Amino acid sequence: MKIKEIGEKQLIKKIAEIVAPAALPAGFLGIGDDAAVNSVAQGNVLVTTKDMLVEGIHFIRNMAAPADLGYKSLAVNFSDIAAMAAKPRYIFVALALPKDIDLEYVLELYRGMVQLADRYGAVICGGDTVGTPGPLVISVTVQGEANQDELFLRSGASPGDLLCTTGPLGASAAGLFLLTENICCDEEMRRQALQAHVRPVPRLDEAAFLSASGLVTAAMDLSDGLLKDVTEICEQSACGVLLRENQIPVHPAAVCIAQEKGENPLDLALSGGEDYELLLTIKPEGFQCLSDDYLTRFGQPLCLLGEMTASGGIVMVNMDGKRESLSFKGFRHF
Ligand SMILES: [Mg+2]
């Protein structure tokens, strides 16, 4: 059935049925009135983020299952919420829908979102649906709740702080290669790369664990690639950074797939993008202890990449011990 056969009112009713099982607490209002009503606990702050995905730019409609696309549209927002050390609470979804799109496609998008939302106790509270003569557009807003004293910002790093990530990099870019080209590789590496690209796990649990330590000085999530993203922390913290090539955590799937394709795996880790790991600066004195606890809790250590410096710019010590200045080669929208 096409959405144009049932109209907007019926479409919203069907969406509400998918969203409804996770009911809002008493006193809150979700889908159905002119606006949603939410609140946060006393002493907490509301953290709001929005990400928009456009068909043809962020995804190819016939290459992604709609439930996966729904999941990822929400996961990229949850990743930003994690980057602030907040907990996701309220979700608003606006869709611009090509008129010939199938009803089932739209409902699957929501089912994918609800799978992820339920896992973290967040609720879809409203949004908007419009018809469009153009491509499918998915615009998601997420509001999260955070303790003001435990917020992660990009601006808090100091020279000497250690730079690390919550996990290895480059698997998502490798997964994109697998989707767009015919590449032979180990089955388990294939599974991990596709998983990283199609269903990235927002690092919400990791962020909650790390923020409770009080040792994180700055953070952001890695969406555009390490080299581009790290410049944000450098600029906002008025620092430079020294990276060590032999410590860049290249995901094993990125190594395997890049080599198969004749690319340098390091490039995928530095500039591939869409990793959705957190990039963090941490006070050096507590790092080892924190990393050990992190290993116990999450089954892998924090990945140490280098340290923040007083002078500007990104410098990498390569395998031969030589220092070179780097600039990012990530995706540009404009
Ligand atoms: Mg971000």
pLDDT in tens, 202-225: 999 999 999 999 999 999 999 999
pLDDT in tens, 294-324: 999 999 999 999 999 998 789 999 999 999 9
Is 333 among the domain residues? no
Give residue 334's pLDDT.
58
Asked if pLDDT for residue 136 goes beyond 80, the answer is yes
Q: Which residue has the tokens 């946060």?
A: 40
* In a shared domain, residues 231 and 95: no
Give residue 35's pLDDT.
76
d(CA 69, CA 59): 8
Any idea what the CATH number is for the domain that residue 11 is in? 3.30.1330.10
What is the full DSSP assignment across 1-18? -BGGGTHHHHHHHHHHHH
> Which among 125, 150, 175 is the end of a domain?
150
Q: Cα(47) to centroid of ligand 1, in Å?
A: 13
Nearest one of 292, 159, 180, 307 to 237, comparing CA atoms: 159
Asked if pLDDT for residue 285 goes beyond 80, the answer is yes
Q: Cα(222) to centroid of ligand 1, in Å?
A: 7
Provide the 8-state DSSP code for 245. Answer: G
Please count the CA atoms within 13 angstroms of the CA of 292 that sit on its side-chain side: 4
pLDDT in tens, 50-69: 999 999 998 889 888 999 99
* In a shared domain, residues 45 and 194: no
Kindly state the average pLDDT of the residues 250-255.
Answer: 97
* In a shared domain, residues 252 and 303: yes
d(CA 201, CA 72): 9
Kindly state the average pLDDT of the residues 156-185.
Answer: 95
Q: Cα(15) to centroid of ligand 1, in Å?
A: 28
> Which among 105, 120, 150 is the end of a domain?
150
Kindly state the average pLDDT of the residues 144-171.
Answer: 96
* In a shared domain, residues 192 and 234: yes
Asked if pLDDT for residue 328 goes beyond 60, the answer is no
* In a shared domain, residues 100 and 222: no
Asked if pLDDT for residue 330 goes beyond 60, the answer is no
d(CA 214, CA 147): 12
What lies within 8 Å, CB to CB, of 55 at 6+ separation is 61, 135, 136, 137
Q: Taking the CB of residue 75, how many other CB atoms lie within 10 A of it?
A: 23
d(CA 268, CA 102): 36
Q: Cα(64) to centroid of ligand 1, in Å?
A: 22
Domain that holds residue 284: 162-326
d(CA 280, CA 163): 6
Asked if pLDDT for residue 12 goes beyond 90, the answer is no
Coil, strand, or helix at residue 101? coil
Give residue 279's pLDDT.
98
d(CA 252, CA 264): 13
Is 319 among the domain residues? yes
Any idea what the CATH number is for the domain that residue 203 is in? 3.90.650.10
What lies within 8 Å, CB to CB, of 241 at 6+ separation is 163, 230, 233, 234, 306, 307, 308, 309, 313, 314, 315
- When the pLDDT of each residue in the chain is averaged and rounded to a whole number, the result is 92
Greatest Cα pair distance, the chain, in angstroms, is 65
Model confidence at 26, pLDDT cuts 50, 70, 90, reads: low
Q: Cα(229) to centroid of ligand 1, in Å?
A: 9
Q: Cα(274) to centroid of ligand 1, in Å?
A: 10
Q: Cα(85) to centroid of ligand 1, in Å?
A: 12
Coil, strand, or helix at residue 111? helix
Q: Cα(322) to centroid of ligand 1, in Å?
A: 31
Q: Which residue has the tokens 């796990």?
A: 201
Structure tokens, 23: 């009911």
Within the chain, residue ranges assigned H as helices are 7-19, 66-83, 103-119, 171-180, 187-198, 204-213, 226-237, 252-261, 265-271, 287-298
Q: Which residue has the tokens 């998008």?
A: 109
Kindly state the average pLDDT of the residues 108-117.
Answer: 97
Give residue 42's pLDDT.
85
* In a shared domain, residues 262 and 305: yes
Q: Cα(106) to centroid of ligand 1, in Å?
A: 26
* In a shared domain, residues 167 and 265: yes
> Which among 116, 150, 184 is the end of a domain?
150
Q: Count how many domains the chain has.
A: 2
What lies within 8 Å, CB to CB, of 133 at 6+ separation is 98, 99
* In a shared domain, residues 183 and 110: no
* In a shared domain, residues 201 and 266: yes
* In a shared domain, residues 256 and 288: yes
Is 246 among the domain residues? yes
Q: What distances in angstroms separate CA 156 from CA 216, 221, 270, 298, one per listed residue?
A: 9, 15, 23, 25
Is 237 among the domain residues? yes
What lies within 8 Å, CB to CB, of 231 at 6+ separation is 314, 328
Give residue 333's pLDDT.
54
Is 334 among the domain residues? no
* In a shared domain, residues 135 and 283: no
Q: Cα(161) to centroid of ligand 1, in Å?
A: 21
pLDDT in tens, 30-50: 777 777 777 788 889 999 999
Is 156 among the domain residues? no
The percentage of residues in the chain with a pLDDT greater than 90, rounded to a whole number, is: 78
Phi/psi for 147 (5° steps) reads -75, 125
Q: Taking the CB of residue 257, how many other CB atoms lie within 10 A of it?
A: 30
* In a shared domain, residues 167 and 302: yes
Is 15 among the domain residues? yes
Q: Cα(220) to centroid of ligand 1, in Å?
A: 6
Structure tokens, 295: 């290993």
Is 97 among the domain residues? yes
Provide the 8-state DSSP code for 177. Answer: H
Q: Cα(83) to centroid of ligand 1, in Å?
A: 7
